[in-house]
Amino acid sequence: MKELLTQQKQTAQALGLTAVKETPLIRLTYSQRVLNPTAIAANIGDFAQSGPIRLVAFLCTVFVTAPNTGAAFWDVRLRDTAGTVLATFSTSTIAPATFARMSAPITVQPGSANTLLTINTITTGAPGALFVFPEVLIMRI
């Protein structure tokens, strides 16, 4: 958590902001779906938004049954209301049948009119079943 606050300060300074307010991060978790395997192209987590936000981190703990290889893997994507992909990661580098903590850089921030963050999955090849426990860290702006 302290590393994320440091990253927040560095980003603000790089943007030329003169005063940095330490705003607490809000952790959004969605645990219900972790008990069941994810369907292909499924929306596995919906995070409703009541106002503008700044995404700080997209994290997931995942478990993929065999096979999970460079030719058969899952992509897990964080999307906004319009379907724009904000962050994505692949399971192609993790060993099958093990839990792995994954993260993805935020490539695009959601627009100010965004009302929902959705986590969506797609496959390459025919990987094993995916179990995912997503988490998003945000700041209200």
Per residue in 73-100, pLDDT (tens digit) is 999 999 988 889 999 999 999 999 999 9
pLDDT at 132: 85
pLDDT at 39: 67
How far is it, in rounded angstroms, from Cα 102 to Cα 71? 19
The parts of the chain modelled with pLDDT lower than 70 are 1-5, 8, 12, 14-21, 30-37, 39-42, 45
Residue with the two structure tokens 């490539």: 107
The four Cα atoms 52, 106, 27, 100 give a dihedral, to 10 degrees, of 160
Measured in degrees and rounded to the nearest 5, phi and psi for residue 13 equal: -65, -40
pLDDT at 37: 66
3-state secondary structure of 3: helix
What count of other Cβ atoms lies within 10 Å of the Cβ of residue 118?
16
Fold topology of 24-140 = Jelly Rolls (2.60.120)
Q: Where are the domains of the chain?
A: 24-140
Nearest to 73 by CA among 100, 36, 45, 108: 100
**What are the residues facing 120 on neighbouring strands?**
43, 77
Nearest to 89 by CA among 65, 61, 67, 66: 61
Model pTM? 0.75
